[in-house]
């Protein structure tokens, strides 16, 4: 399957590069539509999936029923606010020590782990 260049894909990737808030497919769609008014939602989904498969972006699942996408492919933790639903990065080194520990308790082969944190983001904590 030989990749062919597409302006829509470029635009999707370029948009993601400008955002640190891990937008959903729908947010990408609404924004990219400003440069490509006729782009279809299917095109957005297809390219997000393609880019994620190529390892150029990351798909993030934080249990809110919607996939989020991240231009930053370096491994890092995420936080999800239970109040506003925002997804933010944690600038904290990742460790696989739990995975290695878990392997001791498991007969199959553990290849990786998913970890994210939840609670209230700074904006959603009532200030006096």
Partner DNA sequence: AATAAAACAGTAATCATTACTATTTTAGAA
Partner DNA sequence: TTCTAAAATAGTAATGATTACTGTTTTATT
- DSSP, collapsed to helix, strand or coil, labels residue 78 as strand
Q: Residue 115: exposed, middle, or buried by beta-carbon count in 10 A (0-12, 13-18, 19+)?
A: exposed
User: Quick one: tokens of 6?
Assistant: 């597409």
Beta bridge partners of 77: 90
| Closest distance to a copy of itself from the beta carbon of 27 (Å) | 20
Counting residues that bind a copy of itself (by CB under 8 A) gives 37
Angle at alpha carbon of residue 58, lines to 56 and 64, rounded to 5°: 155
Q: Which stretch binds DNA (CB under 7 A): 38-46, 70-78, 89-97, 107-115?
A: 38-46
| Closest distance to DNA from the beta carbon of 108 (Å) | 24
Q: What are phi and psi of 7, to 5 degrees?
A: -65, -35
Choice from 1, 5, 111, 128 touching a copy of itself (CB under 8 A): 111
Q: Which is nearer to a copy of itself, 41 or 125 (CB)?
A: 125
Cα Dmax for the chain: 58
**Using rule CB under 7 A, residue 54 touches DNA:** no
**Using rule CB under 7 A, residue 67 touches DNA:** yes
- 3 is in the binding site of which of DNA, a copy of itself, none (Cβ under 5 to 8 A by kind)? DNA
User: Quick one: tokens of 15?
Assistant: 């948009």
Binding site for DNA (CB under 7 A): 1-9, 24-26, 36, 38-43, 45-47, 49-50, 65-67
């Amino acid at each position: 399957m030989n990749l062919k260049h597409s302006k829509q894909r470029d635009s999707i990737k370029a948009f993601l590069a400008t955002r640190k808030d891990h937008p959903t497919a729908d947010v990408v769609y609404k924004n990219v539509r400003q440069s490509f008014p006729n782009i279809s939602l299917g095109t957005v989904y297809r390219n997000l999936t393609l880019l994620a498969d190529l390892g150029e972006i990351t798909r993030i699942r934080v249990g809110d029923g919607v996939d989020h996408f991240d231009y930053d492919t370096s491994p890092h933790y995420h936080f999800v606010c239970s109040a506003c639903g925002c997804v933010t990065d944690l600038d904290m080194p990742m460790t696989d020590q739990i995975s290695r520990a878990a392997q001791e308790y498991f007969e199959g082969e553990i290849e990786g782990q998913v970890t994210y944190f939840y609670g209230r983001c700074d904006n959603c904590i009532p200030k006096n």
